Structure 1
Amino acid sequence: MAMIFIGGSHDIVDLPDAIVGRIASIVAAEHGVLVGDAPGADTEVQALLGGHGYEHVGVFCAGDEPRNNLGDWAVYTVPPQPGAHGFAIQAQKDREMVRRANYGLMIWNGTSPDTALNVLRLAMAEKPCVTYDVANGLITTTRDVADWRTMLSRADPEIWDLLATRMTPDERLATTSG
């Protein structure tokens, strides 16, 4: 069973039809789904999967209990690094989902650095990721860091400043080499 990390931006409250169709295909193929517990895209994905009565789902959280687990699925707690605050609290959980996944499916608002970083992490691990860019109405597939840079070429240039504050040294190096 392939494992698919599905995630996206916090301000996504309606899943695009293309994503609904892809998730229906994931359900039909009985792939495993790894999803976070955040409001927004994560919760919308959970609601859709719950509506299908889908069972092959793992909900990942950084706290003791998930913020959202609409299907009462298995919970995987991934504590943040000691001293983590802000966005870094969720980053360790996201890295674990990337590690366990074979593929990614991201719903991106075109500005969220955290979703863009998850696509980068998948690209660095050579795991294909389909990204639906809601802002531009585009669907792209990233297979490597070059594809990721192409995806970001349509984003607001200010995203690079936000990314720089969130990247690990390895992530930063991957974006500047090759």
Structure 2
Amino acid sequence: MSTQVTSSRHQAGLTALYLGIFAMVWFSVPAAEQPLRALLVVGSLAALLTAVLGGMLSARTRGTSGGPRNRATDRRYLLIVIVEFVAAGLGAAVLVAAGWSAYVPVLVCLIVGLHFFPLAPLLADPLLRPLGVALCVVAAAGLVVGLASAVSAGLVIGTGAGVLLLGYAVQSLVRAHRPV
């Protein structure tokens, strides 16, 4: 197996691991009645399984990528993630202080969606851009539904973001196992 294929599989494993974990978190955000609650639990379990499979793939291919890690790329990745967490944390604090805590999931989903745009070229994964767009659309839908109806923004966001992240994690594993 070539080092490029192994490196790609390692990256796919990491993607499935991280996005599987975050999908599980998003599925746990909304408070929902049955039968939706049962579906969210099933989604959480599927996300957990996907994360475990991604972790196993990543562990199996670790150290076989053929070259040293790129420290500049690692620093840029870390910077993007730090900015994402700081923006989400500060934004959430402002919303809570303003009495708008129901809209924290909207803000966090928007920031998560936006963070995929600088990650796409960094990780050489152009499909992260459509994922980012889709998450921003879910954030907008959650805001509109939360403002215009009795349905909570968190229910829309948790379900939508969970499905999108789980779907991307699964397709990442599928791509990793396709013949070259």
Does the pair score TM above 0.5? no
Give TM-score scaled by structure 2 length. Answer: 0.26
Higher relative contact order (CA 8 A, sep 6+): 2
Higher helix share: 2
Higher strand share: 1
State which structure, 1 or 2, has the greater radius of gyration over its C-alpha atoms. 2
